[in-house]
Amino acid sequence: MRAAHAEWTKLRTLPSTGWLMLLTVAGTVGLGLAITGSLDYTHCAPPCRVDTTKLSLTGVRLGQVGVLVLAVLATTAEYSTRTIRPTLLAVPRRPRVVLGKLGVLTVLGVVTGVLAVAGSLVAGRAVLPGNGFTAAHGFPALSLADDLTRRAALGTVVYLGLVALLGAGLGLLLRDTAGALTAALGLLYGAPVLALFVSDPTWQHRIHRYAPMDAGLAIQSTRDLAAAHIGPWAGLGVLSAYAAAAVVAGLVLFQLRDTR
């Protein structure tokens, strides 16, 4: 707990922490609002199967960058400023240092996710009925009382927590801000871009199924689940495996190597 408190003290005293959390919330809500605001029921060919919950939450594809940058900076900045040595003098047991960082970053990712998801659902609930997506047309107002909407909302919050862990793990593994960010962004955004250039449907399906972002965000789907590349919770499991692998590898190397 003392290690976690120390990490929290470091992060809360940095102006960038608040700005990156705000960027995540604003990016998620803003993109979701732009997408739902552009929808029009009259332009939807019957039977209209638009997944309004997923579209309201899709802004997380942009907003997650803020959480990712925060997690990477929290684990790499001490190497560039050479403050990692004082940290280890204060807390000699290295696993405690790592667990303190991971715990604080996960909590920040989850809190940011709650704010981003709540804002996105409120924005979608306000905009969609005016665009024709009403209960009369088979689109009830977005509400956490609905099981599928609640699962999508909760899953998106968990997704951002896992993204924070992925970024932190890569930061510990590479010890370089630019390198860790490049690796993290490549993992999240590289596979969807690669799928655009693959013509084989089988390989497209495999890429989307096992790519961390596409698999993880399958949790947002509330309609046509049979057509998805992977199930909602299974997809979140794929992202969890990526995050766990990065964290374990980072922890092992942090324990073994020097801090120069």
- Give the per-residue pLDDT at 234: 95
- Give the per-residue pLDDT at 260: 54
d(CA 106, CA 167) in angstroms, rounded, equals 11
> Please, which residues have CB within 8 angstroms of residue 186's CB and are 6 or more apart in sequence?
none
Taken as a whole, the chain contains a residue count of 260
| Mean pLDDT (whole number) for 151-169 | 96
- Give the per-residue pLDDT at 91: 66
pLDDT beyond 70 at 92: no
Reported pTM = 0.92
Q: Distances in Å between the alpha carbon of 21 and those of 28, 57, 109, 176, 196?
A: 11, 17, 8, 21, 31
Q: Crossing angle, helix 94-127 and helix 147-174, to 10 degrees?
A: 140
| Mean pLDDT (whole number) for 14-42 | 93
d(CA 102, CA 95) in angstroms, rounded, equals 10
User: What percent of the chain is modeled with pLDDT above 90?
Assistant: 66
Q: What is the pLDDT of residues 35-60, one digit of tens each?
A: 999 999 988 888 888 999 999 999 99
- Give the per-residue pLDDT at 3: 72
Is residue 143 classed exposed, middle or buried when 0-12, 13-18 and 19+ CB atoms within 10 A define those classes? Answer: exposed
Phi, psi of 132 (to 5 degrees): 100, 0
Q: Distances in Å between the alpha carbon of 82 and those of 4, 8, 175?
A: 20, 19, 11
Q: What is the pLDDT of residues 102-121, one digit of tens each?
A: 999 999 999 999 999 999 99
Measured over the CA atoms of residue 202, residue 205, residue 209 and residue 212, the dihedral's sign is positive
- Give the per-residue pLDDT at 13: 82
Q: Tokens 């997408």: give the residue.
A: 35
d(CA 247, CA 9) in angstroms, rounded, equals 22
pLDDT beyond 60 at 249: yes
Output the six-digit token pair for 54: 């997923």
Measured over the CA atoms of residue 2, residue 158, residue 245 and residue 212, the dihedral's sign is negative
Q: What is the pLDDT of residues 170-188, one digit of tens each?
A: 999 998 999 999 999 999 9
User: What percent of the chain is modeled with pLDDT above 70?
Assistant: 97
d(CA 16, CA 66) in angstroms, rounded, equals 10
Q: Which of 100, 89, 80, 85 is nearest to 10 (CA)?
A: 100
